[in-house]
Amino acid sequence: MPARLKLFLPLILFVVLALFLMRGLSLDPKELPSALIDKPFPVFTLPALGRDELLDKEAVTGEVALFNVWATWCVSCRVEHPYLTQLAGQGVAIYGINYKDEDTAALGWLRELGDPYIASIADREGTLGLDLGVYGAPETYLVDADGLVRYRHVGVVDQRVWGTILQPLYQQLQQEKESQ
């Protein structure tokens, strides 16, 4: 009875959809493809923004630090910037990754808004971003003293994000470092 069978079509479509939704539950759209979590920070050699020196992985790792991907073309970066400055004031180590940006614009931005970064890696071509798996700015990576990426946050870091997610992890990593 084909007429009756046709009425099963919506049900079949729904079952397929439900299977996808179920799979979706175990995927986090905000999460880094897990490849880099607990893996070493990618190796790189790139110029430091506004300084006459080259930075590499060894230069920026060794202590627990945040790596903040930012750019002057990124509106949300403006939003989180004051909070990063505040964090830097509290002694949190933050490195910048100036992502696909122009040096002059980026330096102007730091002059105007303040510079919370120990140093900014000038990733003009986005090569480091590619290795890190950056989708867009802002993103913030928490890297431990051994140079392993421990957490990745997509989007603005504000008091809520810092207080609930990053800070507990940051403190835990620091304790781990001291106990070593």
Partner 1 sequence: MIPEIGHFALILGLALALVLTVVPAWGAWQRNVSAMSLAPGLAMGMLAMVFISFVCLCIAFLQDDFSVTVVASNSNSLLPPIYKFSAVWGNHEGSLLLWGLILCLWTAAVALFSSQLPLLVLSRVLSVMGAIAVGFLSFSLLTSNPFARLLPSVPADGNDLNPLLQDPGLIIHPPLLYMGYVGFSVAFAFAIAALLGGRLDASWARWSRPWTNVAWAFLTLGIMLGSWWAYYELGWGGWWFWDPVENASFMPWLAGTALLHSLAVTEKRGLFKSWTVLLAIFAFSLSLLGTFMVRSGVLTSVHAFATDPARGLFILVFLAIVVGGSLTLYALRAPAVSSRVSFSWLSRESLLLLNNVVFLVATLTVLFGTLFPLIMDALGQGKYSVGPPYFNAVFVPLMALMAPFMGIAPISRWKRDSGQRWKAELLVPGIAALACAVTLPLFGEQYNLWVALAVLLAAWVVFGMARDFWFRVSGRSGAGGSLKRLTPSYWGMVLGHLGFAACVVGVVATSQYSIEHDLKMSPGESETLAGYEFRFVEVAPVRGPNFVADEARFEVYREGRNIAKLAPQKRRYLAGGSVMTEAAIDPGLFRDLYIAMGEPIGEQGAWAVRLHYKPMVRWMWLGAIFMGLGGFITVMDKRYRSQPRRAAVPAKGAQYAR
Q: Which residues bind partner 1 (CB under 8 A)?
A: 1, 3-4, 6-8, 10-11, 14-15, 17-18, 20-30, 33, 78-79, 82-83, 86, 112-113, 135, 154, 158-160
**Residue 104 CB, nearest distance to partner 1 (Å)?**
15
Question: What's phi and psi for 108, nearest 5 deg?
Answer: -60, -45
**Residue 10 CB, nearest distance to partner 1 (Å)?**
5
Q: Which is nearer to partner 1, 17 or 43 (CB)?
A: 17
Which residue bears the tokens 């930012």? Answer: 70
Q: Which is nearer to partner 1, 11 or 179 (CB)?
A: 11
**Residue 167 CB, nearest distance to partner 1 (Å)?**
14
Q: Is residue 99 within 8 Å of 50, Cβ to Cβ? A: no
Q: Which is nearer to partner 1, 20 or 179 (CB)?
A: 20
**Residue 96 CB, nearest distance to partner 1 (Å)?**
18
Distance CA 112, CA 110 (A): 5
Q: Which of 169, 173, 107, 131 is nearest to 46 (CA)?
A: 131
Q: Is residue 37 within 8 Å of 137, Cβ to Cβ? A: no
**Residue 14 CB, nearest distance to partner 1 (Å)?**
6
Q: Which is nearer to partner 1, 57 or 78 (CB)?
A: 78
Q: Which is nearer to partner 1, 26 or 180 (CB)?
A: 26
Q: Which of 23, 26, 20, 39 is nearest to 133 (CA)?
A: 39
